[in-house]
Structure formats: structure tokens, C-alpha cells
Amino acid sequence: MTGEIDIDLLGKIMKEGAKRVKSVKRVPEIIKEDEFKALIAGVKKPHHRLAYILGFYQCMRVSEVVNLLPGNVHLDRNIIEIRLGKGGKDRNIPISPELKACRGFLKLLPLKCGIRALEIAFKKDCLRILNKNLHFHTLRHSGATHYLNVKKWNLRQVQIFLGHSRLDTTEIYTHVNPEDLMNAMWGGEKQ
């Protein structure tokens, strides 16, 4: 059998090796609210501004933003109905005060922009305004982190808001700001 490869043995070796290799979990890159506001201030197209606000303050996925219809937004009840989100799940989320302050945003829905076009526009806007190479999904990560760290929501509230079925999926948003850690250790005292 010289020169020949035993396919069964190779398959077993590969399967066994795959069990032992752990995937590296990276902390998602985020932007803070002040950076987000600078981004919004520099965006020229109103429908892009709205899409980014939905991504950050509503923590919506790019597909959810693109598929949002005026009939899914209930200003009287302060609710957005997200239909057929990831995994075909529906969820209702509260409308943020920041979105509600965007008068007339309903007339921009549905967005006249596809998923890929919106992702490209976001990437270009971030490079131009923030000098950062970011993805649209960064908005969702940033918004979730904002609600946990700034608004002091608990992890379960953020889980429901994001539509995660498992709490451990939401735990990736529990970034600890090194400055907050120092304040916790030293009680805000200067060293």
C-alpha cells in the first residue's frame, strides 16, 4: 500500500483532530456612543443615517434593517415588530428614544437599499469619518454593549432585546472597560 492513502484512516484522524482544536473567540470590536454620533453627523444620505441608528440603538441585524416595513413600527405603542429575524424568529422590541426623536423616519421605510449595498456604504462611511474599518454588525455589538455598560441593562434584558435564545450568546457583549475596572478597584480615587 505504499503511495496510497487510506481514506478511512485519514477521515478518523481529521475528525479526532477537529475535536481537539478549540475555536478562538474574539471580543467583537465596538464603537462608543460619541463615535457613533460623530459617524451619524457625517453621513450624507438620510436612509443610511436611519439604517445606522436602527443598527446601533435598536441592535438590529442588517437583514432586519433592510426588511423593516412601516407597518412593523408602532409609534403609538413604542414597539418595533421584527418579522422573520435570524432563525426565522419574530420578536418585538421597544423603540429607543433616539429613534423616536428622528421625526418622519417612517417615510424612509422600507429602505431603498439592499443588504450588500448597505454594508458597503457603512464600511466606506466608517473609513471616511472615523478612520476605522468596521462592519455593519459592529453597530449591533456596540449597541448591546452600550445598553449593558451605559444604560445598565441586565444581561437577560439585552438577551431578549437581541433575540438570543441562549444567554451565553449574549455574554460576548459583557465588555469590561479597563477604566471602569480601575474605578471599581480604587473607588474612583486617583493613584
Residue positions annotated with a catalytic role = 61, 86, 137, 140, 164, 173
Contact partners, residue 102, CB within 8 Å, separation at least 6? 49, 50, 53
Of residues 60, 51, 57, 115, the one with CA closest to residue 91: 60
80 - beta bridge partners? Answer: 73, 93
Of residues 92, 64, 63, 65, the one with CA closest to residue 79: 92
Contact partners, residue 19, CB within 8 Å, separation at least 6? none
Return the half-sphere exposure (C-beta side, CA atoms, 13 A cut-off) of residue 99: 26
The CA distance from 73 to 77, in Å, is 9
Of residues 92, 103, 108, 109, the one with CA closest to residue 58: 92
Beta strands (DSSP E) in 19-123 are: 73-74, 79-82, 91-94
User: How many angstroms separate the Cα of 59 from the Cα of each of 18, 63, 142, 172, 177?
Assistant: 33, 12, 8, 14, 20
